[in-house]
């Protein structure tokens, strides 16, 4: 069995070619396997190569250490705040990659233990098989720091039952492994102690046949029973509150529910909502709502526009203030601007959703014959 390791300054992605299987390990455990520009480039190059390689039948992705992936490299965004479009390339490459992960032609399996958040979870949820454990923790906390649910999550969250997508996107609430399976964001729950054995078994099959792979995973999986305290047991309240037209109305409705007996769980969630970026909340709600009526490629193109406009601070610099408060100074006391929902005008929010000129849009093809076209190298951005 041949093993190929891509040797960089830091081997942030390890690749093994084992028979007909290809194993990817996100290998930056000290930084919780954040998605850096190198990670994006390596994932995209290998996935394209393997899709075109008839000897590659099965792709397995996992994370080293105690996390699967904590998502994008926030410090990278912050450090580039004073240089126009310093992170445009990695954003373009990542969203282009997300499209190919969703539509990948070979059988994919994510083995997910520990943290799987934000963009990191975009390497989990779209896979044909996503295996989670009792240690898995998922969330999309972007709105709280002045950002928005991206990497395809305006598409994925909008398709969850009822208004669960709005709830997860706006509150950044966490789901555990069993909840992920019950909500449809993962396919199987396997106890952590069985994960290495499952991986060995999948490799021994030496096939990408979906039925065979699915049956093998099912042998190791356990049925999911959701705790009574789970947020998934609060669906009626979530649907009632998070179906309101605006963030302000959602919060008001949530406050009303919080005053009722047995609803103490709402209080800390409400506190977090009120501390989040008003701009981030408004953009996130609109993006998820629009996502319900959009295709995957439309969602990714929209998210690209929102992200670039957000990083350009077109209507607010909240994303940089949010990152500063969370990861730089770690004072957890962001000063939002605008500071209230009332002061975030709808006309301002409209600006970050405006389409770019066609040449400047994210290029993702829905045609089979040219599905790997549209790379950053071929974009207008690379040749400016």
Q: Quick check: 282 and 341 in contact, CB under 8 A? A: yes
Question: Is 165 a catalytic site residue?
Answer: no
Catalytic residue (one of 72, 118, 146, 208): 72
Q: Quick check: 353 and 304 in contact, CB under 8 A? A: no
Measured CA to CA, the distance from residue 336 to residue 258 in angstroms comes to: 25
Q: What would the DSSP string read from start to end of 47-82?
A: HHHHHT-TT--EEEEEESTTEEE--B-HHHHHHTTT
Q: Quick check: 289 and 140 in contact, CB under 8 A? A: no
State the SS3 of 109-132: EEEECCEEEHHHHHHCCCCCEEEE
Question: Is 177 a catalytic site residue?
Answer: no
The structure tokens 């709808």 sit at 346
Question: Is 142 a catalytic site residue?
Answer: yes
Catalytic residue (one of 150, 199, 303, 318): 150
Catalytic residue (one of 142, 303, 318, 321): 142
The structure tokens 């977090």 sit at 272
Q: How many residues are listed for the chain in this entry?
A: 384
The angle formed by the CA atoms of residues 301, 303 and 304, to the nearest 5 degrees, is: 65
Q: Quick check: 41 and 190 in contact, CB under 8 A? A: no
Catalytic residue (one of 71, 119, 146, 169): 119
Both structure tokens of 174: 């966490």
Q: What would the DSSP string read from start to end of 274-332?
A: HHS-HHHHHHHHHHHHHHTTS-HHHHHHHHHHHHHHHHTTSS--HHHHHHIIIIIS---
Q: Which positions are catalytic?
A: 72, 119, 142, 150
């Amino acid at each position: 069995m041949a093993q190929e390791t891509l040797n960089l300054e830091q081997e942030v992605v390890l690749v093994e070619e084992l028979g007909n299987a290809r194993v990817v390990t996100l290998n930056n455990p000290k930084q919780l396997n954040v998605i850096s520009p190198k990670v994006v480039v390596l994932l995209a190059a290998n996935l394209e190569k393997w899709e075109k390689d008839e000897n590659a039948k099965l792709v397995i992705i996992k994370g080293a250490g105690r996390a699967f992936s904590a998502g994008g490299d926030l410090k990278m965004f912050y450090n580039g705040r004073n240089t126009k479009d310093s992170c445009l390339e990695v954003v373009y490459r990542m969203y282009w990659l997300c499209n190919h992960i969703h539509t990948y032609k070979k059988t994919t399996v994510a083995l997910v233990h520990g943290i799987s958040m934000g963009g990191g979870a975009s390497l989990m949820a779209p896979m044909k098989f996503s295996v989670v454990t009792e240690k898995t923790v998922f969330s999309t906390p972007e709105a709280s720091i002045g950002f928005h649910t991206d990497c395809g999550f305006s598409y994925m969250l909008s398709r969850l039952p009822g208004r669960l997508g709005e709830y997860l996107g706006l509150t950044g609430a966490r789901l555990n492994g069993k909840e992920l399976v019950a909500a449809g964001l993962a396919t199987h729950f396997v106890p952590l102690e069985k994960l290495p054995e499952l991986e060995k078994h999948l490799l021994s099959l030496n096939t990408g046949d979906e039925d065979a792979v699915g049956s093998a995973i099912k042998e190791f999986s356990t049925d999911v029973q959701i705790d009574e305290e789970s947020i998934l047991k609060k669906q009626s309240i979530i649907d009632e509150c998070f179906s309101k037209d605006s963030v302000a109305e959602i919060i008001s409705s949530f406050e009303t529910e919080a005053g009722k007996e047995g609803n103490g769980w709402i209080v800390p969630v409400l506190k977090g909502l009120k501390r989040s970026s008003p701009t981030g909340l408004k953009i996130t709600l609109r993006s998820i709502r629009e996502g319900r009526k959009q295709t995957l490629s439309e969602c990714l193109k929209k998210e690209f526009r929102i992200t670039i406009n957000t990083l350009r601070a077109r209507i607010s610099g909240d994303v940089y203030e949010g990152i500063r408060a969370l990861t730089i100074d770690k004072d957890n006391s962001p000063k939002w601007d605008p500071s209230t929902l009332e002061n975030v005008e709808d006309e301002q929010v409209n600006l970050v959703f405006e389409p770019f000129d066609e040449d400047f849009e994210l290029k993702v093809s829905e045609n089979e014959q040219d599905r790997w076209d549209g790379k950053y190298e071929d974009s207008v951005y690379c040749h400016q």
